Structure 1
């Protein structure tokens, strides 16, 4: 007698997305109520102790903030449209698993050997020009994919890797420099930091939805979303060129002297850079391994519904930033940042060393992204306190260089040679997050010793 075993595809319930959506709204719109209840008053001229999303600040600041976020959202959607398909792009051209890994290695190698100097280039020629380069790279890839029947996957991988690396520092650097140049209060930066994380995540979700609407047959229309991405790149570049201002340029000699005396000789910035690099490594490892971990043992899962759940969790984590960073916060910046790193590390540790049901794994990964949503604006706040704006891009790019080298090592040893298991790689990412927590804790101790050397926000 034969048996038929039915395989049921696991899916997230619709109530999960509803809960994340309602939680984000509640976190945003209840903040002013509880702030007032706690006795925190905000002046109408924007000179209170801390800004909030609903504070009545100057019209010039809100105009500047809306203009920047418009471009930042456009740039996020462009990146999402170009990378939403992932491995499907390689499979369409018949790439084997090893060829896929080699293509990824080529992209990461570009960020290791060239990306480290892109931050220096951004500081020297101005972040506005580097943001233009980001748009040009996406325009090139979008045009190539839209017009060629057999576009070069290798060139696309190299270009998109460099563009993704530029995105991590160029827009933030321009925003902080222009914010200071226009004379806005430094406290107002806090809102912009968490709104950047919030809208970037929302834009990636929107990019996935737009790509799914544009592609009905993957074998015929895989690269059709690249045409809208190229169009948006043109719009973004034209807007930047017309409305954004260029900043002071440095000579190589001036920049080298400033960087060596301000960045390389400050141990606090080394610790901050280590924390940034560890987070970048952990997030990159997660995006490489989350799908294989969830579908382990041949489990059927609708991955396209889990992806926006992660990004929604990051949005929710970012909305917690104004709650814990305000003047009435009961926990210092370094304390909640260390706890966030530890919580994120524990989430990856449990996923690495203990077999979990799919629901438990998804919950752990959502918790990891919620922690990342809180960590990202907090690190931006620390960068503003420690790093001069004119050296910000170079500092970020150099801090990410060791992380990118580690990612390249993981791809070669774990992806190509299979010498490292997925569990071991996740454990390495978790260890990096614990290391970042230790770096932030040491920063707190040094802050107590030299309080006058910090630019408080």
Structure 2
């Protein structure tokens, strides 16, 4: 078995070095950001960390809770498939509504929807749990679209420098990794305070019916509700509203379809947006596949009588992600983000090819850590690229359309029993394709820049919306 503690400590030292390098570089350059920007950034990041904590708190306990209720592996798999299917179908429409009626409202809708999903976990009823998965799928689509859309719109509306968006994304990813580690510890503590029992005090084994349960694996969901409520209250009191499409008025099915069609047209007829969407789907599809596959990939290293130190491995992954976001901050000071992204995808493809060509668990684990580092670099880089390329009026709509092929990939992984080496080969191939798309995207942006006489670099291609459709 690999010495997971050794790798964790090495990562902590490396991450500490990168953080110190960033801090000293900022201090020596004297390039302090304006007070207004710092206030805006904190205003966004507080909410972002709350909503991500709500997600991290419950994530590790969903399968465990379903299993505790006595459902078999097939029943649980159907619940997971329903969640991703819901995200794929309903999330696409919800994104277009957020652009029209306001991103703040739909950030609050995320809070309400995810709290409702958490509440369903207390009921040992398959139909109620299915409803919870459907609500959770909708909430996931909102989480990864409307919050970014709100922040980018506010950033631009306040006339902050475009390059500072990357700083906000990098800080968000770094902090999110810290939140994930803390959430794991809190959730573990909460789940052990009291055993899982129904309201009459009976545990599952002695209960004669389904009923409503509390304690045990339900507790992390209750903590998530508290954190989400805090985030929702902060949004309500401190965030302003912003829109993509003009606000006001009622909207019917025809209007929603028109908005979706416009979003699809913007993707199809603008090579930059299309490539951006392909890259997002391929990378994040590989990332979700990795989430499902890393445990069976490493489990044999523990032998028959031992279990993997899951908490330590997860913490190592999160620190690697923190190192990646810190490295992005260092590199972005001297390299264009488009260039950083190219080599991030190449390294990611190579890292997940390691399990295909070797059975050395030390090498496999190092490959996994490198991939997590690439994840830490990917999110701030892609967040910045999408902020430049995707038109503001359709941002939430297009972000959710990007998630459709991602959910198709995830559903394919859930429904297909692939060998481990085959799954990682597919991941590596998707990442290599993403790298090729990124090289093409750089060429497209350069060609567009040259055609404008070199003005402004890789600017927002969504500025002239009508030109996208011709």
TM-score range, shorter chain: 0.7 to 0.9
1:19 — aligned with what? 10
- What is the match of residue 4 of structure 1? none
Q: Which moved more, 1:248-257 or 1:195-204?
A: 248-257
- For the pair 1:370 / 2:368, whether they are aligned, the reply is no
- Which residue number in structure 2 is paired with residue 278 of structure 1? 282
Q: Structure 2: give runs of 5+ residues left out of the alignment.
A: 197-214, 462-470
Change (3 A) 1:446 1:65: same
Structure 2 counterpart of 1:446: 444
Deviation readout 1:267-301 (Å, 9 max, x if unpaired): 11101110000011001101111111111377331
- Hey, what's the Cα distance between the residues in 2 that align with 1:387 and 1:456? 7
1:160 offset after TM fit, Å? Answer: 2.2
Where do 1:26-175 residues align within 5 Å? 26-31=17-22, 33-34=24-25, 41=29, 55-146=31-122, 148=123, 152-175=128-151
Is the CA contact (8 Å cut-off) linking 1:342 and 1:433 kept in structure 2? yes
Q: Which residue of 1 aligns with 2:203?
A: none
1:384·1:455 contact (CA, 8 Å) conserved in 2? no
In the alignment, which residue of structure 2 is the partner of 1:316? 323
Query: More deviation in 88-97 or 367-376?
Result: 88-97
Aligned to 2:341: 337
Which stretch shifts more, 184-193 or 217-226?
217-226
TM-score w.r.t. structure 1 length?
Answer: 0.86
In the TM superposition, residue 11 of structure 1 has moved relative to its aligned partner by 5.9
Q: How far apart are the structure 1 equivalents of 2:171 and 2:230?
A: 22
| 1:242-261 matched pairs, under 5 angstroms | 242-248=237-243, 249-250=245-246, 252=255, 255=259, 259=263
Is the contact made by 1:315 and 1:373 (CA closer than 8 Å) also made in structure 2? yes
Deviations 1:174-214 (A, max 9, x none): 00111112222222212101011111121111110101111
Distance 1:95 1:296, change over 3 A: farther
Q: Does residue 1:381 correspond to 2:384, yes or no? A: yes
Instruction: Quote the offset at 1:98 in angstroms.
Output: 1.8
Q: CA, structure 1 residues 154+258, in 2 after alignment: closer, same or farther (shift >3 Å)?
A: closer
User: What is aligned with 1:291?
Assistant: 295
Once the two structures are TM-superposed, the CA of residue 456 in structure 1 deviates from its matched residue by 7.2
- CA change 1:128–1:36 in 2 (3 A) is closer
Give the deviation of 1:84 after TM superposition.
2.2
**Which residue number in structure 2 is paired with residue 47 of structure 1?**
none
Contact 2:110 2:139 survives alignment (8 Å): yes
After superposition, the Cα gap between the structure-2 partners of 1:335 and 1:128, relative to the gap in structure 1 and judged at 3 Å, is: same
CA distance in 2, matches of 1:27, 1:156: 41
Deviation per CA, 1:73-106, whole angstroms, max 9, x where unpaired? 1011111112122431222122222222212111
State the distance in 2 between where 1:305 and 1:193 align: 26
CA distance in 1, matches of 2:48, 2:240: 16
1:397 aligns with 2:392: no
Which secondary structure state, in structure 2, belongs to the residue aligned with residue 222 of structure 1? Answer: helix
Question: What corresponds to 1:234 in structure 2?
Answer: 229
2:355 matched residue in structure 1: 351
Matched residue count: 423
- Deviations 1:101-126 (Å, cap 9, x if unpaired)? 21211111112222222222221222
CA contact (8 A) 2:174 2:322 kept: yes
Distance 1:285 1:315 in 2: 20
Distance 1:230 1:35, change over 3 A: closer
User: Which deviates further from its counterpart, 118-127 or 252-261?
Assistant: 252-261
Is the 1:271–1:439 Cα contact (8 Å) retained in structure 2?
A: yes
Q: How far did residue 150 of structure 1 move?
A: 5.5
SS in 2 for 1:91: helix
Equivalent pair of 1:11/1:305 in contact (CA under 8 Å)? no
Question: 1:304-344: per-residue Cα shift (whole Å, max 9, x none)?
Answer: 22111111111110011121111xx1x44333312111111
State the TM-score, normalized to the length of structure 2.
0.83
Contact 2:332 2:340 in 1 (8 A): no
Please identify, of 80-89 and 137-146, the stretch whose mean Cα deviation from structure 2 is larger: 137-146
Q: Cα offset for 1:350?
A: 1.2
* Secondary structure at the counterpart of residue 71 of structure 2: coil
Q: Corresponding residue for 1:303?
A: 310
After TM superposition, the structure 1 = structure 2 runs for residues 184-203 of structure 1, keeping only pairs within 5 Å, are: 184-203=160-179
Residues 107 and 158 of structure 1 are in contact (CA less than 8 Å); yes or no, is this contact kept in structure 2?
yes
Deviation string 1:238-261 (CA, Å, 9 cap, x unpaired) is 211121111134373884686366
CA distance in structure 2 between the partners assigned to 1:127 and 1:11 by the alignment: 46
2-structure distance, mates of 1:128, 1:387: 19
The structural deviation recorded for 1:371 is 0.8
The match for 1:455 among 446, 456, 459 is: 459
Contact 2:104 2:241 in 1 (8 A): yes
